[in-house]
């Protein structure tokens, strides 16, 4: 298989974006191109995934400039796992937008921006170079700024201002960290950096400043992922953006931060170890991951608690979903924290985080789309105007209910396995003598109870109870409900046919920790 297949998803999304920009005067043609592009993207990702399944890792050196000099794109099981999530959520969101966005909104290049967002996400998943990661982040963020402010009402401009300023500061900090990494390690290529960090004496690298710079970079990824204490932009931005964009932001772009943490900290920086003499107060061990483990743990704990408590007290559906998204990202980070601290459960922990990310991506995207359907029909999602939706539109309510159950973690939905694996990681870590495993278990349990609490409240206030006038007289678009239900069906399918998903996640976790293969594939003959 030619390595060019690596850039197939990237090119498909880019061509779709350009074509939909050119067709902005012809809304029907634009919609058709956009939908075809999303389908083709799914096909491209599937093609890439089969190629990666056969050859385990594919490397594309742009213009045949060999790494570490040229730009490298790398597709392995971890990248294709995340791309698969992107393709599914993106297709659902595009179908939803085709019906949901007004013609005027489409003329304002909605579809072009949307596909550029997908381009940025795809590039971030595929790049093998830290500076290119920055560039793809910017591609993704620039389109998301405009999509967040899309309605440009008072609330939207305010949310977008906060979102934009924070992310611009994040980008500046990322640039600082990248400059520092280049200066200390002498390379920007991830594989080359891993090779050099594994052998610091040979390349004259002092690992201590690298740790500090890695910590600065970490703050940027945590900001993108919306982990506490970098979560404050999340609720306003998610509520301001159009529903399909919120679905993409919560379902996919958040996961880019998680992916970057897994890729850089578990594949690249894990190669390095600190000199034995340097003992940091409160941290055990001399590996980089042992340093980030406790930090991740505290951030995960704070996210679960703050997101859960915040979601319980919201007055509208979008607010509950946005805060819930902070809490759920805590569940993604928690197994990562355990994986970083306890080497014995590293692969299991990463697999658990990926499964949970997949579950959250699908379920939260579906819930935001459900909320968008309700908003389109009624005009608001504030609980005081809702009530009795379950009797008025049972199909949509079943979808919402399934999504809520998936996030709570009820079998046979995908969320059950996500939660189970998080618990299993904590229990296994405890079994091999990891510290704080009991605390992690208690935390996961408390978080699960909070999830039950805020979703039962949302369900009681929105879907049960007396029907309000607005709910009774509203008409619900069958297309939008169909999209919601198809995503809900995906949740059930993933849960029932969990074996292949688990195998994919296992393969992805294996690829994340298998540094030797990664380095050897990108830099033939360069492996230490």
Q: Which residues bind other proteins (CB under 8 A)?
A: 131, 134-135, 138, 142, 145-146, 149, 152-158, 160-161, 164-165, 168-169, 171-173, 175-176, 178-180, 182-183, 188, 239-240, 316, 318, 382
Of 125 and 134, the one with the shorter C-beta distance to other proteins is 134
Is residue 412 within 8 A of residue 492, CB to CB? The reply is: yes
CB of 158 to other proteins, least distance (A): 5
Minimum Å gap between C-beta 175 and other proteins is 4
Q: Which is nearer to other proteins, 178 or 300 (CB)?
A: 178
Please, which residue, 130 or 508, has the CB nearer to other proteins?
Answer: 130
The position carrying tokens 């945590």 is 222
Beta carbon of residue 364, minimum distance to other proteins (angstroms, whole number):
18
Cα(483)–Cα(94) distance, integer angstroms: 10
DSSP structure string for 304-330: HHHHHHHHHT-SBHHHHHHHHHHHHHH
Three-state DSSP at 470 gives helix
For residue 373, the minimal CB distance to other proteins (Å) is 16
Distance of closest approach, residue 452 Cβ to other proteins, in angstroms: 26
Q: How far is the CB of 181 from other proteins (least distance, A)?
A: 9
* Residue closer to other proteins, measured from CB, 145 or 464: 145
Residue with smaller CB distance to other proteins, 42 or 317: 317
Distances (CA, A) of 447 to 71, 150, 243: 42, 33, 26
Nearest to 24 by CA among 116, 103, 99, 120: 103
Peptide bond into 412 cis (omega under 30): yes
| Nearest one of 173, 174, 175, 141 to 160, comparing CA atoms | 141
Tokens of 463: 């879907």
Contacts of 257 by beta carbon, 8 Å cutoff, 6+ apart: 221, 222, 223, 224, 225, 226, 227
Q: Based on CB atoms, which residue is closest to other proteins, 145 or 232?
A: 145
**Tokens (6 digits) for 284:** 């055990």
Minimum distance of other proteins from residue 381's CB (angstroms): 9
Looking at the Cβ atoms of 4 and 66, the one nearer to other proteins is 66
**DSSP letter (8 states) at residue 251:** I
CA atoms within 13 A on the CB side of 271: 27
């Amino acid at each position: 298989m030619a390595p060019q297949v690596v850039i197939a998803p990237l090119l498909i999304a880019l061509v779709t974006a350009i074509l939909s920009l050119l067709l902005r005067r012809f809304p029907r043609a634009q919609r058709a191109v956009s939908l075809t592009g999303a389908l083709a993207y799914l096909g491209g990702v599937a093609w890439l995934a089969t190629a990666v399944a056969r050859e385990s890792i594919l490397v594309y050196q742009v213009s045949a400039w060999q790494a570490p000099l040229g730009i490298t794109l790398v597709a392995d099981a971890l990248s294709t796992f995340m791309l698969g999530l992107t393709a599914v959520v993106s297709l659902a969101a595009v179908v939803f937008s085709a019906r949901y966005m007004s013609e005027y909104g489409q003329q304002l290049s909605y579809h072009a921006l949307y596909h550029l967002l997908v381009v940025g996400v795809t590039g971030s998943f595929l790049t093998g170079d830290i500076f290119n990661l920055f560039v793809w982040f910017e591609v993704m963020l620039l389109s998301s700024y405009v999509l967040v402010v899309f309605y440009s009402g008072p609330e939207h401009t305010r949310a977008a201002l906060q979102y934009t300023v924070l992310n611009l500061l994040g980008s500046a900090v990322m640039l600082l960290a990248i400059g520092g990494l280049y200066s200390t390690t002498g390379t920007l290529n991830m594989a080359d950096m891993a090779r050099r960090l594994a052998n610091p004496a040979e390349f004259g690298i002092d690992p201590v400043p690298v740790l500090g710079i890695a910590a600065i970079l970490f703050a940027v990824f945590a900001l993108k992922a919306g982990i506490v204490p970098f979560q404050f932009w999340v609720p306003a931005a998610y509520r301001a953006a159009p529903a399909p964009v919120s679905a993409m932001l919560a379902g996919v772009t958040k996961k880019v931060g998680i992916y970057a943490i897994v890729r850089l900290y578990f594949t690249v920086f894990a190669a390095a170890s600190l000199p034995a003499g340097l003992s940091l107060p409160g941290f055990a061990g001399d590996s980089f991951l042992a340093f980030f483990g406790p930090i991740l743990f505290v951030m995960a704990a704070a996210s679960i608690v703050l997101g859960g408590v915040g979601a319980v007290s919201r007055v509208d559906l979008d607010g509950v979903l946005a805060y819930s998204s902070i809490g759920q990202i805590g569940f993604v980070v928690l197994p990562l924290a355990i994986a970083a601290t306890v080497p014995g459960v590293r692969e299991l922990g990463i697999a658990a985080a990926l499964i949970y990310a997949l579950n959250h991506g699908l379920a939260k995207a579906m819930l935001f789309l459900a909320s968008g359907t309700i908003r389109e029909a009624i005009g608001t999602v504030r609980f005081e105007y809702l009530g009795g939706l379950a009797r008025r539109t049972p199909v949509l309510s079943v979808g919402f209910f399934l999504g809520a159950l998936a996030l709570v973690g009820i079998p046979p939905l995908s969320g059950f396995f996500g939660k189970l694996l998080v618990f299993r990681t904590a229990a296994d870590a405890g079994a091999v003598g990891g510290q704080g495993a009991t605390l992690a278990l208690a935390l996961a349990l408390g978080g699960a109870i909070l999830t039950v609490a805020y979703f039962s409240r949302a369900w009681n206030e929105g879907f049960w109870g007396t029907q309000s006038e607005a709910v009774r007289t509203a008409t619900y678009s069958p297309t939008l409900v169909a999209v919601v239900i198809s995503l809900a069906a995906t949740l059930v399918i993933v849960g029932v046919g969990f074996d292949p998903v688990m195998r994919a996640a296992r393969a992805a976790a294996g690829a994340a920790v298998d540094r030797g293969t990664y380095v050897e594939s990108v830099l033939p003959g360069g492996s230490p």
